[in-house]
Copies of this chain bind each other. A is one copy, B any other.
Amino acid sequence: MSGETIIPVILCGGAGTRLWPLSRRARPKQMLDLVGGGSMLALTAARVADAELFAAPLVVAAADQAEAVEAELPGLGMLILEPAARNTAPAIALAALTAEAEALLLVLPSDHLIGDPAALTEAIRRAAPAARAGWIVTFGMKAERAETGYGYVQRGAALGAGVHEALRFVEKPDAAAAAFYVADGGYDWNGGIFLMAAGTYLDALARHAPDILKAAEAAMAGARRDGARVHPDAAAFRASPAQAIDYAVMEKSDKVAVAPVAAGWSDIGSFDALYDVSGKDGDGNVVVGPGLAIDARGCLIRSEGPLVAAIGVEDLVVVATADAVLVVPRAASQRVKEAVERLQKEGKDSWL
């Protein structure tokens, strides 16, 4: 590592509704303790706590999450507060503009699970030389099943130990393609964790998404600082296109690499995914909070308050908060969004 540390850039702007009613506007998924041991954000920061390898984390978050982030991360280095949500490419640009061009940035979603953090750390160490050599490295998570909801990245020629050129990206393939990728063995899930030099990223933006770079530069030029908090200029940042780094940069750049790793990754993008990564009782039930599972099998029963009694049901999600209850078959748990859409349409904001 040449004695230089990596700056973790934790992206905390997500406002996911896929875990409604647990996740809410005021309490997005990264603030939830989903697997025990702390919020997803706190667990993310804990993975990059080794001061030999990592600098204090830089967090990019929505402005209304400032207090919540600071409460979760006492060791925060810098907190960039997005005046508006513009997806990941502009958010990372704000962070990159605060660093030296040679500094390595490790971009981390704040709401994903890494079951084996040590494996990820090793992969980061292996990938660092490629990143210093100007490659944008994505970490290829071992594809464990033919999941159609994820992005895939195909490995090409080896660039070094455990780092390959990325041949192509495929976002949310159909079932047949996903099955082929898993059977083929040459594809990984694109886990949304990236390692690159700040200058590499800004150069790629200049070439492939200049409007994003321009908006981010103007926003940071007009930024107001307040301790660790950075408030980019709102009007300037709002002018940025909203694009994911995957589309804006990864799929277009020439020097994109993939570092495969079996890190027990999950984006916990649905209650079914949460069920998969949670400990189960002898009947295959996950019960968190006050719950009674009577002759129930394969259920996710989770409550933040009311006692939930589930009797004689199978493969069902029952999630209760103080003000809302969700009941949906586990296999249909992505349909939560239909409830959220209905609430939005009916203006029932207190439940969002």
Contact = CB atoms under 8 A, between A and B. Distances in A.
A46 B307 CA distance: 35
Interface stretch (A72-80, A107-115, A167-175, A308-316): A308-316
A321 interface: yes
Contact of A329 (B303, B305, B312): B312
Contacts of A332: 311-312
B306 A339 contact: no
Q: Work out how many copies of this chain go into the complex.
A: 2
A324 B312 contact: no
Interface in A313-352: 313, 316, 318, 320-329, 332, 335-336, 338-339, 342-343, 348, 351
A311 B324 contact: no
A338 to B, nearest CB: 5
A294 interface: yes
Contacts of A292: 339, 342-343
B306 A323 contact: yes
Nearest to A333: B311
Contact of A320 (B306, B313, B329): B306
A294 B338 contact: yes
B306 A321 contact: yes
A320 B323 contact: no
A334 B3 CA distance: 68
B308 A327 contact: yes
Nearest to A303: B325
A351 B305 CA distance: 12
Contact of A310 (B310, B321, B328, B343): B328
Given A306-B321, A323-B306, A312 B328 contact: yes
Contacts of A322: 306
Given A306-B306, A342-B294, A320 B325 contact: yes
Interface of A: 21, 292, 294-295, 303, 305-313, 316, 318, 320-329, 332, 335-336, 338-339, 342-343, 348, 351
19 contacts: A295-B338, A306-B320, A306-B321, A306-B322, A307-B343, A308-B324, A309-B325, A309-B326, A309-B339, A310-B327, A311-B332, A311-B335, A311-B339, A312-B328, A313-B327, A313-B329, A320-B325, A325-B325, A327-B327
